[in-house]
Chains A and B, each alone.
Chain A
Amino acid sequence: MTEFKEDRLFDARGLLCPMPVVKTAKEMKTLQAGQVLKVLATDRGAIADFPAWSEDTGNPLLHSAEESGSLVFWFRKGGREGA
């Protein structure tokens, strides 16, 4: 299985639309460009919402998977590294 070393983990399990995206966006603000945020979610809407959010915000979705009942997403914080 593909694994990415995350710099921070955000647990959005149990949250429903729009909160997974709203809180992930807030969490992403605390990261530096190039760092990786791993997000756990249970809202099935996240399957469509996170790729769209990733594209809109320029934080690339590196990988997504389903692990023991949770959806897992890895995002890389966009922007210039060190900026």
Chain B
Amino acid sequence: MLNEAIVESPSFAEADVRRIVREEIERAARQDRAASKACIIASKGTLDWAYPPFILGAAAAAAGMDTSIFFTFYGLNLITKGYSKRIQVSPTGNPAMPMPVPMADLFAGLPGMKTVATSMMKSKFKNRGVVSIQELIDACRESGVRLIACEMTVAVFGFRHSDFIEGVEFAGAGAYLSEARRAHVTLFI
């Protein structure tokens, strides 16, 4: 039996409406498959820019999302064999990158500076306990993230399919768009 006094009170009506709306939204979200699909483009091959696609890819997969990362242009390097050992970051043209002393662009471009900047960044990450790019790639593969190489840029840059780590798929813009149009999360990195 409903207590009429409670039913008629504005607070009851409001709480009820809020609950119904929340339940309906949740129901719709559960049916919306795009809400559990992520498509990420990784276009850069430097140490700093290698992190975001793999971090988000691994986190999306951990959250139960069907996740793909498309690698194109310089990003292709990230999924070639042994690249995580050769990966570098350059201070040239990146005024936001912290350096031990203020440095003019001309000096930042001197031979050896890239090596210095790379080891600085790697040790900074390591000291903080951030996982390596290789560990992130392993986490992505283990959790079923699809790693897809852009076939056109593979050809342009002279890569062979055998240069890529195991499990990499090859596709083009059409395949990316077909996936992306069914995903709420699409990122260009």
Is A25 part of the binding interface, using a Cβ–Cβ cutoff of 8 Å?
Answer: yes
Of the residues B36, B58, B61, B129, contact of A15 by C-beta under 8 Å: B129
Q: Write out the residue numbers on chain B whose beta carbons fall within 8 Å of the beta carbon of A16.
A: 128-131
B131 close to A19 (CB less than 8 A)? yes
Say whether B143 faces chain A, with CB atoms less than 8 Å apart: yes
A68 to chain B, nearest CB (A): 19
Cβ contacts under 8 Å, A22 to chain B: 58-59, 61-62, 139, 143
* Inter-subunit contact A25/B63 (CB<8 Å): yes
Which one, A14, A15, A21, contacts B62 given CB within 8 A? A21
The count of chain B contact residues (Cβ–Cβ below 8 Å) is 17
Tell me the complex Cα distance, A17–B128, Å.
Answer: 11
Interface string of A53-71 (1 = CB under 8 A from B): 1001100000000000000
A57 to B128, CA, bound (A): 28
Tell me whether B55 and A18 are in contact (CB under 8 A).
yes
B142-167 interface (Cβ within 8 A of A): 142-143
Cβ of A32 under 8 Å from chain B:
no
Question: Contact flags (1/0) for A19-38 with B, using CB distance below 8 Å?
Answer: 10110111000000000000
B185 to chain A, nearest CB (A): 11
Asked whether, in the complex, the Cβ of B131 is within 8 Å of the Cβ of A53, the reply is: no
Residue B64 is within 8 A (CB to CB) of chain A in the complex: yes
Cβ–Cβ contact A17 & B55, under 8 A: yes
Given contacts A17-B55, A18-B55, A19-B139, contact A24 B129 (CB under 8 A): no
**Which residues of the partner chain B approach A18 to less than 8 Å between Cβ atoms?**
55-56, 58-59, 62, 139
Closest 6 CB pairs of A and B: A25-B62, A18-B59, A56-B63, A22-B62, A21-B62, A57-B64
In the assembled complex, 25 residue pairs joining A and B whose CB atoms fall closer than 8 Å, in A order, are A15-B131, A16-B128, A16-B130, A17-B59, A18-B55, A18-B56, A18-B58, A18-B59, A18-B139, A19-B139, A21-B59, A22-B58, A22-B59, A22-B62, A24-B62, A25-B62, A25-B63, A25-B64, A26-B62, A49-B59, A53-B62, A53-B63, A56-B36, A56-B65, A57-B64
Q: A16-B130, A56-B63 are in contact. List 19 more A-B contacts (CB 8 A).
A: A14-B129, A17-B55, A17-B59, A18-B62, A19-B131, A19-B139, A21-B63, A22-B58, A22-B61, A22-B139, A25-B61, A25-B64, A26-B62, A26-B142, A26-B143, A52-B63, A56-B64, A56-B65, A57-B64
